[in-house]
Structure 1
């Protein structure tokens, strides 16, 4: 296996050798799993991801689920030394990330959608031209050579750039855990804005506006079809999950990867299965219980 470093700058794939995205086809078109990737692309630097989510959408019944996989989750990466899950994207793009999610969590994804920071700003401004209103709980302050974030507590209306700062912030005691919660919150707010009366009238134009900022294997025709389903069966609430789950990890440090979240994979796989496939999970539990009954010794008089 090639060795992956914390900075992911050794042994990486040449961008021209990025793996082709080759997912298994969905068993049906009733439920789709989409890999959502937020990318940081700096000039003359390889793309990195600090946002990894799997969204599940069921057009037929208008339900949506969103699982965030924290970027420091320590996982097995096919062809490489175990490392943080965001290293999988650096080494092989969306396809290696897809393979990594499948190998570690037994979860299939059928499509991917990738957006960089500039694209996110444009996305928010297109969906919510008057801004996104939210209640900021605590002071949020961070300053570096190229980033300035300063939010006071209280209800505020954020434009696209401010929304990006809000979901990227992690300079408090909650660190990446708080950032993941804010990312999920922002997507839910954008969904509500899209389903508002003003948002619905802009949907056809929005598809054209957003398309240039998203790298995806979903065809334009499929996007339009899903958009129509989205309007006919609006998603009332997005169910969310965070991986690792509470009490499903420990903090570790490795020389090649730095500080990581070492997962209890049994707990986290069970959580993902129950979250995305509750009917299958219940069926397996019933069958398992039935097998135990069949295997139980017969006792006279019972």
Structure 2
């Protein structure tokens, strides 16, 4: 542990000297309040700049970090939740991003679920691939339940596989899941947890400057480098902390509906899910 922290302190000093924040274009319009107490909520969005419609987000998560407990919690928000978008009426949740980027999505989450968002990070999928290959050059081990191929430009065979960055992206993006979009959310949470374990290893810590340089090219965020370093140092001193996860809406708190001009949506019991979310964030492991 001493060796890991020594390396981290060297890296921290180097990066502070460089003084290069990760802020990009959306940061000026994002109005999330500065985090209160010792908790940080970061809106995590996945996007693909290679697709024609770059205003769509493929995944919506919120990473919650408590510096007192040094605990990370991951909240997955289903894209098809039928919610009220400020200024636009009832729509699917991910439509908020299409209308007004991360700021409107932040407002929508706040008004429907009561959760404050302090920062955002939009991860380009090409950057995801490169980050995986940097953090885990030997790949990430996953157990694939059945062959996956439709819509991901590759074939992932059933069984335990060691996936590189491109393959892992296909694994989390596969849409023809037997559990529909719910299965895809489960895989996203699984991959985030495994990447966290890889990222706090000694080998990955030594690559932090290279990783942050990569983030500057492929991540649009308003998180300061110093905040990332502080959280990273806390994680190194608490390696045994597992990421806790929740999916909103919870089972039994929604029903499938179809609306003309919108398509299939999840009609959600928002009060139930607000309560479930508050309980999840309050509980300590």
Deviation, 1:142, is 0.9
Mapped contact 1:40–1:47 kept (Cα < 8 A): no
Q: Residue 49 of structure 2: which of 28, 41, 49 is its match? A: 41
Q: Which whole-Å CA distance do the structure 1 matches of 2:154 and 2:83 have between them?
A: 31
**In the alignment, is residue 200 of structure 1 matched against residue 205 of structure 2?**
yes
SS at structure 2 position matched to 1:53: strand
Mapped contact 1:63–1:235 kept (Cα < 8 A): no
Cα-Cα RMSD: 2.0
Instruction: Give ranges in structure 1 of 5+ residues lacking alignment.
Output: 1-15, 280-302
Structure with the larger RCO, 1 or 2 (CA within 8 Å, 6+ apart): 2
Deviation, 1:274, is 0.5
Q: Which whole-Å CA distance do the structure 1 matches of 2:63 and 2:178 have between them?
A: 27
Q: Which whole-Å CA distance do the structure 2 matches of 1:158 and 1:224 have between them?
A: 28
Q: Which whole-Å CA distance do the structure 2 matches of 1:172 and 1:56 have between them?
A: 27
Q: Residue 134 of structure 2: which of 126, 131, 137 is its match? A: 126
Q: Which whole-Å CA distance do the structure 2 matches of 1:112 and 1:249 have between them?
A: 27
Deviations 1:177-198 (A, max 9, x none): 0000000000011011112232
Q: Residue 191 of structure 1: which of 187, 192, 196 is its match? A: 196
Map of 1:7 onto structure 2: none
Higher deviation after alignment, 224-233 or 212-221: 224-233
Q: Which whole-Å CA distance do the structure 1 matches of 2:222 and 2:200 have between them?
A: 24
Provide closer, same or farther for how the CA distance between residues 99 and 192 of structure 1 changes in structure 2, counting only shifts above 3 A: same
Mapped contact 1:134–1:156 kept (Cα < 8 A): yes
Mapped contact 1:55–1:66 kept (Cα < 8 A): yes
Say how many residue pairs are matched: 260
**In the alignment, is residue 135 of structure 1 matched against residue 148 of structure 2?**
no
Mapped contact 1:138–1:153 kept (Cα < 8 A): yes
- Note the 1:76-155 alignment, pairs <5 A: 76-143=84-151, 147-155=152-160
Q: Which whole-Å CA distance do the structure 2 matches of 1:123 and 1:267 have between them?
A: 37
Higher deviation after alignment, 200-209 or 57-66: 200-209
Instruction: Give ranges in structure 2 of 5+ residues lacking alignment.
Output: 1-24
- Note the 1:258-269 alignment, pairs <5 A: 258-269=263-274
Deviation, 1:65, is 0.3
Map of 1:278 onto structure 2: 283
Q: Which whole-Å CA distance do the structure 2 matches of 1:71 and 1:90 have between them?
A: 12
**In the alignment, is residue 229 of structure 1 matched against residue 238 of structure 2?**
no
Q: Which whole-Å CA distance do the structure 1 matches of 2:41 and 2:36 have between them?
A: 11
Deviation, 1:235, is 5.5
**In the alignment, is residue 62 of structure 1 matched against residue 67 of structure 2?**
no
Provide closer, same or farther for how the CA distance between residues 211 and 235 of structure 1 changes in structure 2, counting only shifts above 3 A: farther
Structure index of larger Rg: 1
Provide closer, same or farther for how the CA distance between residues 18 and 260 of structure 1 changes in structure 2, counting only shifts above 3 A: farther
TM-score after normalising by structure 2: 0.85
Q: Which whole-Å CA distance do the structure 2 matches of 1:19 and 1:250 have between them?
A: 37
